[in-house]
Amino acid sequence: PASNLGLEDIIRKALMGNLEE
Residue ranges in contact with another protein by CB under 8 A: 1, 3-4, 7-8, 10-12, 14-15, 19
The distance of closest approach from Cβ of residue 21 to another protein in the complex, given in angstroms and rounded to an integer, is: 10
Residue 2 identity (one-letter amino acid): A
Task: Give how far the C-alpha of residue 5 lies from the chain's centroid of Cα atoms, to the nearest Å.
Answer: 8
Q: Would you say how long the chain is, in residues?
A: 21
The distance of closest approach from Cβ of residue 2 to another protein in the complex, given in angstroms and rounded to an integer, is: 9
Sequence-separated (6 or more) residues with CB below 8 Å from residue 12: none
The distance of closest approach from Cβ of residue 12 to another protein in the complex, given in angstroms and rounded to an integer, is: 6
